[in-house]
Amino acid sequence: MSEFLQQLINALSLGAIYALLALGYTMVYGVLRFINFAHADVFMVGAFTGSYVAKHVPSGTLLGGLAVLFAAMAVCAVLGVLIERLAYRPLRRAPVLNVLITAIGVSLLLEYGVQLTAGANPRSFPAVFPVTRFQLGPLTVSSNQLVVIAVALALVGGLQWIIYRTRLGAAMRAVSLNPRAAQLVGINLNTVIAFTFALGSALAGAGGVLYALNYPSIDPFMGVMPGLKAFVAAILGGIGSLPGAALGALILGTAETFVGGSAYSTYKDAIAFGLLIVIMLFRPAGLLGRFTVEKV
């Protein structure tokens, strides 16, 4: 039983990181209807920014940790807006496939760009937050896990507030419902899309730092697997749905942690794709997604 609870805590912190990434995928899909494959690499850039900034702040303090986190978020937000402006905006009316290929092109560019500047070898990520272990009876909770869960909760709460309580958030919801009608009532599509990218990329940047804290080595390709899995989580919950992304991420984090702790641990990476296939076959719109009917 205590092992079960221990795994549940691990699952929660993994799921929280997936959730931060999945929200970005689902938001971009909501407004633009395409899969931003470069999102996973924004996550990687977040981790690298974190490791650079960490050299200039006192390590092992809460304030220093938060500074690293915010720096990574800011850099990623700018990066996200740049990517949208330079690569995706010119293709807004192009077929989905072309945008998808462009996204993968951007993803490669970021990966190999970072590899060129930072080197291909994995590097260790400094402990920017204070590190302690809490003993709750038989359970061990590391402070990093608590940081991950707390930051993820705060960010998701903030996102919820932005989307449901601000004018820009209302505009985002309008665009995701019907972009043309949104333009008709005077919403500036470009602003909303740029804002969506900034938000999603900032979350990915935070996710990158949190991921690096728990798995303390980073390399230019670290984003690929978490990115694919977070994307699966977004689909699982119903792409375009924010609560769905969070739910999907938690389910995936749990499934992966428990399989990873079982005798079938080498199949851990297949779990996400297995779930993807099951959900695609039985409920393609995802758990909380809406079905659309094809009309002639």
Partner 1 sequence: MPRQHAALLATILVAMAVALFGGALNAYYLDVAMNVGVAVILVVSLNLVNGHTGQFSLGHAGFMAVGAYLSSACTLRFAPALATTAHPALAQHTLFFFALLVGGLTAALAGFLIGLPSLRLKGDYLALITLGFGEIIRVVFQNTPALGGAIGLNGMPPLTTVAWTYGTVAVTVFTITCLVNSTYGRGFLAVRDNEIAASSIGLDPTRYKVVAFTLAAFFAGLAGGLFAHLKLAIDPRGFDFFRSFELVAMVLLGGMGNTLGVILAAVLLTLLPEFLRPVAEYRMILYAVLLIGLMLLRPQGLLNFRLGRARL
What are the Cα distances from residue 228, in Å, to 44, 85, 97?
13, 24, 18
What are the Cα distances from residue 282, in Å, to 34, 275, 279, 295?
22, 11, 5, 21
Residue 71 in tokens? 């720096």
> Where on the phi/psi map is residue 246: left (φ > 0), alpha (ψ -120 to 50), or beta?
alpha
Question: Residues 139, 188, 262, 269: which binds partner 1 (CB under 8 A)?
Answer: 269
Question: Residues 5, 82, 108, 154: which binds partner 1 (CB under 8 A)?
Answer: 108
Tokens 């938690």, residue?
250
Beta strands 139-142 and 133-136 are: antiparallel
Q: Decide whether 6 or 115 has the Cβ nearer to partner 1.
A: 115
| CB-CB neighbours of 194 under 10 Å | 18
Report residue 217: phi and psi, to 5°.
-145, 140
Question: Residues 57, 66, 78, 109: which binds partner 1 (CB under 8 A)?
Answer: 109
The site for partner 1, by CB under 8 A, has a size of 40
CB 57 within 8 A of CB 76: no
Report residue 223: phi and psi, to 5°.
-80, -20
Distance CA 189, CA 174 (A): 10
Q: Decide whether 123 or 268 has the Cβ nearer to partner 1.
A: 268
Distance CA 133, CA 127 (A): 14
Q: Decide whether 94 or 131 has the Cβ nearer to partner 1.
A: 94
- Rounded to the nearest whole angstrom, what is the least distance from the CB of residue 91 to partner 1 in the complex? 7
- Interface with partner 1 in residues 113-132 (CB under 8 A): 113, 116
Give per-residue burial for 45-57: e unless 16+ CB within 10 Å, then b: bbbbbbbebbeeb
Distance CA 212, CA 196 (A): 24
Stretch that binds partner 1, among 57-65, 95-103, 155-163, 179-187 (CB under 8 A): 95-103
Stretch that binds partner 1, among 2-10, 65-73, 150-158, 225-233 (CB under 8 A): 225-233
- Interface with partner 1 in residues 239-268 (CB under 8 A): 266-267
Q: Decide whether 126 or 226 has the Cβ nearer to partner 1.
A: 226
Q: Decide whether 94 or 139 has the Cβ nearer to partner 1.
A: 94
Question: Residues 14, 22, 53, 106: which binds partner 1 (CB under 8 A)?
Answer: 106
Stretch that binds partner 1, among 18-26, 108-116, 156-164, 191-199 (CB under 8 A): 108-116
Instruction: Establish if 235 lies at the interface with partner 1 (CB under 8 A).
Output: yes
DSSP state of 218: E
Stretch that binds partner 1, among 20-28, 151-159, 207-215, 229-237 (CB under 8 A): 229-237
Instruction: Establish if 228 lies at the interface with partner 1 (CB under 8 A).
Output: yes
- Interface with partner 1 in residues 273-292 (CB under 8 A): 273-274, 276-277, 280-281, 284
CB 139 within 8 A of CB 9: yes
Question: Residues 100, 118, 127, 146: which binds partner 1 (CB under 8 A)?
Answer: 100
Residues that bind partner 1 (CB under 8 A): 34-35, 87, 90-91, 94-102, 104-106, 108-109, 111-113, 116, 228, 231-232, 235, 266-267, 269-270, 273-274, 276-277, 280-281, 284, 294, 296
